[in-house]
Amino acid sequence: MKGKPIAEGSKKISRAELIDLLNQDLSREYQAIIGYVVYSQVIKGAAYMNIAAELAVHAAQELSHALIIAEQIDYLGGMPTVQPKPVRTSEKATDMLQFDLDNETATIRSYRERVSQCEELGEYAMGEQIRQILVDEQDHQIALATALGKNVPVSK
């Protein structure tokens, strides 16, 4: 069964590869924390008051996700990364919300792959932890798409 596809575009991976992928996910969680903290404070205007408050809540949820992912990396015998992915900023609220929406869509895609990879390695509890994170990430994606007046992107 080695090399058998477990998710679109992926193959069975080793524990070391899973650690590397989880560290990439952790970098994305750090990016989300920073982005949500900054965006929640700098987005201005009556049209964005509700979403700005929601972004502050998202920041706290992303911190919780980062802690869960770091715990899983440690469990696998790895060292959690300390580097966030780059955070994009803009003077325009719609740009910042779009950056977040794009990041959430990428995160959802990655976590869907990660669930399959965890289960392929027999790490069912880890897969369950990531499924719970996915629930929050999809809620974030819906909120951001709604704030932008867009349909929720398909995470292929």
**Per-residue pLDDT tens over the stretch 108-151:** 999 999 999 999 999 999 999 999 999 999 999 999 999 999 99
> First vs last Cα of the chain: how many Å apart?
24
Q: Where do the domains of the chain lie, and which CATH numbers do they carry?
A: 14-148 (1.20.1260.10)
Could you write out the DSSP letters of every residue in 92-116? Answer: SHHHHHHHHHHHHHHHHHHHHHHHH
Higher pLDDT, 154 or 109: 109
- Alpha-carbon distance of 114 to 102, in angstroms, equals 18
Reply yes or no on whether the pLDDT at 3 is more than 70: no
Kindly tell me the burial class for residue 85, based on how many C-beta atoms sit within 10 Å of its own C-beta (0-12, 13-18, 19 or more): middle
Taking CA atoms, 131 is separated from 38, 98, 111, in Å, by 27, 24, 8
**Residue for token digits 């193959």?**
11
What is the chain's mean pLDDT, rounded?
Answer: 92
